[in-house]
């Protein structure tokens, strides 16, 4: 007869890495990365320090695992998803919505604040962030933009400029949410979901390809002015 009492134990062992990551994330956000110790992570996760080191060799490795899980894994919108029914504009909107959810709404956005404040002391983490998140995300948005230009959905623009116009406001909103809002005593902090949405739509509208007659009319008005 099968001893079913072993099943919960087996499931818990499989769940331990995730429990450690969840505990580490909340601890890093509460205390900061430099102040968080391996003992603290283990205690919050309800495991021994030896168990922690069984899965992760250092707290740097824990944070790298969090970055890979919470951010790198979200860069899953690929150019292959573009079809006749999925425009480049829709793909950009999906990208922005996904990263707004992760950076601004989700607890993991606190990792970005950590990287901004502690990258100087932990350059290996800054390099990992750039390699695993920033570079792939910028490349993805650039490819979507180039695809849209090729299909005449977007006007001919410098993709790097458009990437900055779309991505940097998300980073600013993330820092506002996780670095300023929790400590603002007035209770009134600038920016909102609606503000960010309006800005994104403003940028996307500027990317759209304009018919030749509209461009000529616009040019004529400028000359008359």
CATH superfamily of domain region 71-224? Tetracycline Repressor, domain 2 (1.10.357.10)
Instruction: At 212, give phi and psi (nearest 5°).
Output: -60, -40
CATH T-level topology, domain 1-65:
Arc Repressor Mutant, subunit A (1.10.10)
- Amino acid 212: pLDDT: 52
Confidence of residue 73 (pLDDT cuts 50, 70, 90): confident
Say how far apart CA 167 and CA 194 lie, in whole Å: 16
Tokens 């956005």 correspond to what residue?
109
Parts of the chain belonging to CATH 1.10.357.10: 71-224
Per-residue pLDDT band for 102 (boundaries 50, 70, 90) equals: confident
Per-residue exposure over 1-40, b if at least 16 CB sit within 10 Å of its own CB, e if not: eeeeeeeeeeeeeeebbeebbebbbebbbeeebeebeeeb
Q: Quick one: residue 192, left, alpha or beta (phi over 0 = left, psi -120 to 50 = alpha)?
A: beta
* Contact assessment for residue 74 and residue 99, using Cβ atoms and an 8 Å cutoff: yes
Give the 3-state DSSP-derived string for 99-130, with helices as H, strands as E and coil as C.
Answer: HHHHHHHCCCHHHHHHHHHHCCCCHHHHHHHH
pLDDT at 118 over 50: yes
Residue where the block lists tokens 């450690």? 20
83: helix, strand or coil: strand
Higher confidence at residue 146 or residue 191? 146
**For a pLDDT cut of 70, what percent of the chain falls above it?**
78
pTM above 0.85, yes or no: no
Say whether pLDDT at 91 is over 70.
Answer: yes
Element (H, E) at 143: helix 135-150
Residue 42 — very low, low, confident or very high, per pLDDT cuts 50/70/90?
very high
> Which residues belong to CATH 1.10.10.60 in the chain?
1-65
């Amino acid at each position: 007869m099968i001893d079913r009492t072993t099943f919960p134990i087996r499931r818990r062992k499989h769940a331990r890495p995730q429990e450690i990551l969840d505990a580490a994330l909340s601890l890093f956000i509460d205390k900061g990365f430099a102040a968080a110790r391996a003992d603290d992570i283990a205690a919050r996760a309800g495991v021994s320090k030896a168990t922690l080191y069984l899965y992760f060799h250092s707290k740097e490795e824990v944070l790298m695992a969090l970055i890979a899980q919470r951010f790198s894994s979200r860069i899953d919108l690929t150019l292959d998803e573009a079809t006749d029914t999925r425009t480049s504009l829709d793909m950009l909107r999906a990208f922005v919505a996904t990263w707004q959810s992760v950076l601004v709404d989700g607890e993991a956005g606190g990792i970005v604040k950590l990287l901004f404040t502690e990258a100087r002391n932990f350059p290996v983490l800054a390099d990992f962030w750039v390699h695993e998140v920033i570079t792939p995300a910028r490349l993805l948005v650039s490819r979507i933009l180039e695809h849209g230009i090729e299909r005449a959905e977007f006007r001919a623009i410098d993709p790097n400029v458009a990437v900055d116009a779309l991505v940097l406001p998300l980073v600013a909103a993330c820092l506002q949410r996780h670095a300023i809002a929790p400590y603002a005593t007035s209770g009134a902090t600038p920016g909102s979901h609606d503000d960010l949405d309006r800005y994104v739509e403003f940028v996307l509208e500027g990317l759209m390809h304009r018919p030749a007659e509209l461009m000529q009319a616009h040019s004529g008005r400028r000359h008359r002015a």
